[in-house]
Amino acid sequence: MPRTRSLAWSELKIGILAVVALFLAALIIVAVGGQSGFAWQRYTLKTRFDNVQGLKSGAIVRVAGVEVGKVTDVSFSGAAVQITLSVKKDMQQRITTDSRASIGSLSLLGEPVIDISPAATGTPLQDGGFVQPGRGQAAITDVAASASAGLDQATAMLRDIRAGKGTVGKLFTDEQLYREVNGFVDSAQVVAGYLSKGQGTIGMLVRDPAAYRQLNAALTNLQDMTRRINAGEGSLGQLLNDDRLAKSLSSASGNFDQITARLNRGEGTAGKLLTEKELYDRINRMANSLDQLTANLNQGQGTAGQLLHDKQLYDNMNAAANELRGLIEAIKKDPKKYLNVRVSIF
């Protein structure tokens, strides 16, 4: 009997050692294979998304593309989905309040993962902290939707072109526009032929060396003239560069401004003429009187009017003038006959 008990205890020790060995082996496999370390070497973070794109527990967590943890829980939190992360503690200084979490992918069609951007600023997140969600890379469904929308727009554009809408559509379907473009091309070919043959002004300019030399000489003269103007030479150069002329023009402009101001204030004869209503009325009345006098003269009223219009009065005055001229001539010839002066003394 004692021997039997000794054998049972030996077997029991072997079993205990086997179980401990299996436990240690599993712990080492989990610690090494999962790359997340032991439980005391990890801490918990949380984030939230509106759409997790098929993310499941056990998905990889990466920081700057390096695997640092696992997703431990995916559950609804209101209308959004809350994700619990188990991350290595040595990442705590890299994951701060300025870090952003996004849903990435191991490949274009691979399973989703959580990507966290490292940040050198901000406060490190503690155990149970919340990582703000950010904009992740576009999912394959988003790319497909964008491609589908682009194909729809291309199809609509081709439909409009076939219907003759827009400039390109008219270019493809409008016969009149085609004929006009074709005629324009033919005309351009004719003009190009003339140019190549040296016909016309532009053709001669292209092919005639003398025309080129004349144009080059003209440009040289223009450059020389511009240089002289910039140097202040000649009348135009002095006009542009002489400070005294500029001061004279400025002074003349100032004097003109003073004269204009005096006219506006009604100073001087011209100013009063522009601003004084009484003087304007007097000049207006004088002009009306002159108009009336001219009208009376034209109508033959008064002595001056009759002198202008009465031919008989004109003839009489002309005859009297002639007789007076004859009398003066006679007196000059024989003054004693007409000028007899008698002097008597009482």
54 is written with which tokens?
């098929």
What is the rounded distance in angstroms from the CA atom of residue 289 to the CA atom of residue 245? 49
* Distance of alpha carbon 71 from alpha carbon 52, whole angstroms: 12
Same domain, residue pair 29 and 44: no
| Structural domain includes residue 153 | yes
Beta bridge partners of 67: 62
Residues 56 and 18 in one domain: no
Asked if 86 contacts 42 with a C-beta cutoff of 8 angstroms, the reply is yes
Residues 149, 128 share a domain: no
Query: For residue 67, what are the contacts with CB-CB under 8 A and spacing of at least 6?
Result: 35, 60, 61
Which letter, b or e, does each residue of 52-88 get, where b requires 16 or more Cβ atoms within 10 Å of its Cβ? bbebeeebbbbbeeeebbbbbebeeeeeebbbbbbbb
Same domain, 78 and 125: yes
Tell me whether residue 202 is in a domain: yes
Residue 130 sits in a domain whose CATH number is 2.40.30
Mean of pLDDT over the chain: 77
Q: Which domain holds residue 290?
A: 279-329
> Are residues 130 and 84 part of one domain?
yes
Q: Within a domain: residue 215? A: no
Helix, strand or coil for residue 124? strand
More confident residue, 190 or 11: 190
In this predicted structure, what is the pLDDT of residue 83?
Answer: 92
User: Each residue of 160-185: pLDDT tens digit?
Assistant: 777 777 777 777 777 777 777 788 88
Number of folded domains in the chain? 5
Q: Could you report the per-residue pLDDT of 128-155, keeping only the tens digit for each?
A: 899 999 875 555 556 666 777 888 888 8
Name every residue whose Cβ is closer than 8 Å to that of residue 135 and which is 6 or more positions away in sequence.
102
Say whether both 25 and 62 belong to one domain. no
Assigned domain for 216 exists: no
Residue 185 falls inside a structural domain: yes
Q: 46-50, 242-246, 280-284: which has the highest mean pLDDT?
A: 46-50
Q: For 297-324, what is the mean pLDDT?
A: 76
**Where would I find the beta strands (DSSP E) of 1-131?**
42-49, 60-63, 66-77, 80-88, 100-105, 112-116, 129-130
Same domain, 83 and 48: yes
Question: CA torsion, points 314, 320, 325, 327, in degrees to nearest 10?
Answer: 170
Q: What is the pLDDT of residues 4-15, one digit of tens each?
A: 445 566 666 677
In this model, does residue 231 exceed pLDDT 70?
yes
Give the type of residue at 193: G
Q: Do the domain assignments include residue 212?
A: no
Return the half-sphere exposure (C-beta side, CA atoms, 13 A cut-off) of residue 26: 6
pLDDT at residue number 82? 92
- The reply to whether 62 and 127 lie within a common domain is yes
Q: Are residues 101 and 45 in the same domain?
A: yes
Q: Identify whether residues 48 and 116 lie together within a single domain.
A: yes
Question: What is the helix (H) or strand (E) element at residue 190, kind and residue range?
Answer: helix 175-197
Residues recorded for the chain: 346
Residue 343 is assigned to a structural domain of this protein: no
- Are residues 107 and 130 located together in one domain of the fold? yes
Name the DSSP letter for residue 91.
G
**62 and 79 share a domain?**
yes
What end-to-end distance do the CA atoms of the chain give, in Å? 221
Q: Quote the pLDDT of residue 130.
A: 93
Interatomic CA distance for residues 95 and 72, integer angstroms = 18
Q: Is residue 255 part of a domain?
A: no
